[in-house]
Amino acid sequence: MGLGGHQQTEEYQCTLPAEEKKKALDELREDDNVREQSLSQMREWINKHPNIKKCRTDAPFLLRFLRTKKFSVPLACEMLERYLTIRQLYPQWFRNLDTEDKDLAEIINAGYLVPLLERDNGRLVLFSCAGKFDPHKYTSAHMVRVHSLVTEALMDDEINQINGYTYINDESGFQMAHISLWSLTDVRNILRCIQNTTPMRHKANHFLNISASAIKLIEFAVSLLNEKLKTRIFMYKSVEELHQKVDKKLLPKEYGGEVPLAEMVEKFKVFLKERREAILALDDMYIEIDEKSCPLVSEMNEELGIGIDGSFKKLTVD
């Protein structure tokens, strides 16, 4: 895993299944030549960047950005720069994501967020259940950290990079206490982070069992998304309605599928344990933040409403 700007990086060995190769070519304009040239250009850009002092340069990491941006090297480089900057500006959300952290382990063990075992037309399905997150015990930072930990564990997987992700969110159990964890500014900021700095292809977002207390927050969140993501959001009044759009075989047994949620959680915990060192090693990456020499930081500060110390300006929720 290359971290230094001048280290040699192992050559990429393509082991993609034929179906993913075809999809990568059709949807992302990716072939062996484009991939090789793009990786080389990104590594050169990292080497020459005056502020990036340490960064992974291995193919699985750089391909996160290239595939999200359909092999536009300038856009992939911009997203990488934003990703490194955000991790540094707001470590409470994005750094020291330890699978052995007591709170994070408890939240995952409760079944709040877990990848399902079956794929949705090749896409990994991330399943969340609001009722399994205790808003009296944990904070909004815990919630973001769990999502950051889970997605960091998954993003190096090339099948995920090419096919993208489907999200299924059960909002039953969502309480006013969940809303009180968040300021409107924080909701705005995290959504901007997701759209502009997270190298993931978000393909579909399904919400079910939305309570009256949750609908306003979700509508506010949706209003901040770009038009493409807005068209990929679906809401259902019941599990039966969800079954009309999503194959129930994908779902946990409690939602009409075959495998109990607890069993899926146990399998995922084993996977997280295997990924622990690689996720913690992300904190070795370092970008020097200087507002004068890095216009991107000023632009992001303005966009995100944050100070250079990473503190958010709070707004209260009525």
Say what the pLDDT of residue 242 is: 94
**Token pair 């072939």 is at which residue?**
31
| pLDDT tens-digit series, residues 138-168 | 999 999 999 999 999 999 999 999 999 999 9
Say what the pLDDT of residue 173 is: 87
Integer angstrom CA distances of residue 50 from 1, 11, 42, 81:
21, 25, 14, 12
Residue 111 φ/ψ region, left for φ over 0, alpha for ψ in the -120 to 50 degree band, beta for the rest: left
Residue 96 φ/ψ region, left for φ over 0, alpha for ψ in the -120 to 50 degree band, beta for the rest: left
CA–CA separation, 285 and 5 (whole Å): 11
Helix crossing, 102-109 with 261-281: angle to 10°?
Answer: 150
Helix crossing, 32-48 with 59-68: angle to 10°?
Answer: 110
pTM over 0.85: yes
CA–CA separation, 222 and 61 (whole Å): 29
DSSP structure string for 178-232: HHHT--HHHHHHHHHHHHHH----EEEEEEES--HHHHHHHHHHHHTS-HHHHTT
| pLDDT tens-digit series, residues 63-109 | 999 999 999 999 999 999 999 999 998 899 999 999 999 999 999 99
Domains in the chain and their CATH numbers?
A: 18-94+285-304 (1.10.8), 102-277 (3.40.525.10)
CA–CA separation, 88 and 95 (whole Å): 8
Residue 318 is encoded by which pair of tokens?
């009525």
CA–CA separation, 176 and 221 (whole Å): 16
